[in-house]
Amino acid sequence: MEKKATGHIEMILSFVIFIFFVFFLLMYVQPYKETSLADSVILGLKDKFENQNSINYTKIFLRVNELNEGVNCFSVNLGNYDGNSIVKKTDGVDVSSLYSGSQLSVSSGISRYYVFISGEFSDASSFSCPEGILESTKYSIGSIETKKVISSKSLGILKTRFESGDSNLRSELGVPATLDFSIQTSDNSFVLDKQIPEKVEVISKTYSFLVLDENNNLNNKDFIFKVW
């Protein structure tokens, strides 16, 4: 009976020692620590990348019902938005326009339009319309959609800073000095890349963003973020 009791005590002690040893490894060796840090950094990198390169993109439906005879342009009070305008008829035909303050001027006549406003677009300050503001009964504004997109111009600036070795870029993107990073699209249209050393663990995650260029081309692109 005493031998059985002694055997049970030894088994319990062995189990306790084993649990203590595992606990010691988790607390002091922390094999998960590096991966957790890299995961946290890559998420922060994505957020800062998005915040630094995002701009507003607004799409407005505009219908002009009436113009004075012989008039080939018009101006309307559109509201306050950030950026310059690109205007298309609903059949896709481009028309000249100028957005300044809250006023949109368009070189065209009675029709239905899509008005796009963004800081990505160039200023068409050379265009002007001599006509006054249309009476509100002669036009109507329909659906308005505003969303955040990635600026192609901003990506170009980011790439230039990366390739020139800008010392402030790493801290602005929240990457510690002990780690390194790369960002590129799956189609390689945008690449911030570095040689990854051998025998290092690389954490990689892919996020999708809408990218807008100055010609109003809006494309969904997959951005691959890597941290090592």
Whether 184 contacts 204, CB under 8 Å: no
Whether the Cβ atoms of residue 85 and residue 106 lie closer than 8 Å to each other: no
What integer is the mean pLDDT of 47-64? Answer: 98
- Span 115-143, average pLDDT: 91
What pLDDT was estimated at residue 30? Answer: 47
Of 117, 205, 209, 81, give the one whose Cα is nearest residue 155: 209
Separation of alpha carbons 23 and 35, rounded Å: 19
Residue 225: its H or E element: strand 218-227
CA distance 174 to 15: 44
pTM comes to: 0.79
Q: How confident is the model at residue 21 (pLDDT cuts 50, 70, 90)?
A: low
How do the domains of the chain map onto residue ranges? 33-53+152-227, 56-147
Cα dihedral across residues 75, 80, 82, 88: positive or negative:
negative
- Over range 12-36, report the average pLDDT: 56
